[in-house]
Structure 1
Amino acid sequence: MHPRLSYVPNDNKEGLQIVAVVKRITNILQETIRVSDSQERYGGEELALLLPQTEHAQAHELAERLRALVEASSIM
């Protein structure tokens, strides 16, 4: 996992659940994006994708594919 994507868990149960969700989504992104793409933590639970040389339509298609994969996954 990318060092910037590591997350220091809170001591409470909710914090640990958030960590599990962020890690699962991070894995889905990493398995789906191209080698030339990168993902970065943008905040506590926010992730950003950098998609060089990607047209708007391609980015939209990837976003929809990622949405469907996250929706279909058993995160918890």
Structure 2
Amino acid sequence: MMREPLRTPCPHKPPCPPAQAPDRYRAHVLAAHPEQGWSLLCNGVIAFDDLGALLPEGAALVPARLAA
């Protein structure tokens, strides 16, 4: 089941990078769960401590060190 992307615009100045941008991890953290190893970013990305991610449309990004 795919989640709906966040529909509210980013309130930050300058705005956070979109989820599809290469610098997606620079977005502000909305909810941090370091004990579980993940954070929800303003752009809807769920970022994991190993640098993997789930994008709002449901795509998964593998950590860079595993992709090489």
**Structure 2 length-normalised TM:** 0.25
Structure with the higher strand share, 1 or 2: 2
Q: Which has the higher contact order (CA 8 A, sep 6+)?
A: 1
Structure ID, larger Rg: 1
TM-score, scaled to structure 1: 0.24
